[in-house]
Amino acid sequence: MLNLLGTIAGNVLSLPGILGLALGMTTRNLLLASIMGAVVGFAESLIFAGFDMSNVEMLELVISIGVGLLAGALGCAIRIKGTTV
């Protein structure tokens, strides 16, 4: 359980959480924002694994993509709620 929470926290405070949120804030399209966040999550897992898919742990990959997806969606929601353009 702690392992899972730690992985989620690590991703929230890392590229998927922060860059995913920032990218999500660049669009009003929820789907596009989520996809951009998920791509960041996937890219981060790949970067930390030294661009070798065999080093990517499935749990970490799923969590980083999930966190990126949610961060992108949240960024999009912030854009919709917080801007008039």
| Least CB distance to other proteins at residue 41 (A) | 12
| Least CB distance to other proteins at residue 53 (A) | 15
| Least CB distance to other proteins at residue 16 (A) | 10
Which residues of this chain interact with other proteins, rule CB under 8 A? 2-3, 5-7, 9-11, 13-14, 44, 48, 81-84
Beta carbon nearer to other proteins, 38 or 44? 44
The values of phi and psi at residue 68, to 5°, are -60, -45
Beta carbon nearer to other proteins, 10 or 66? 10
Which residues have CB under 8 Å from 74's CB, separation 6+? 21, 24
Interhelix angle 15-24/2-12, rounded to 10 degrees, is: 40
Q: Which of 76, 73, 70, 74 is nearest to 8 (CA)?
A: 70
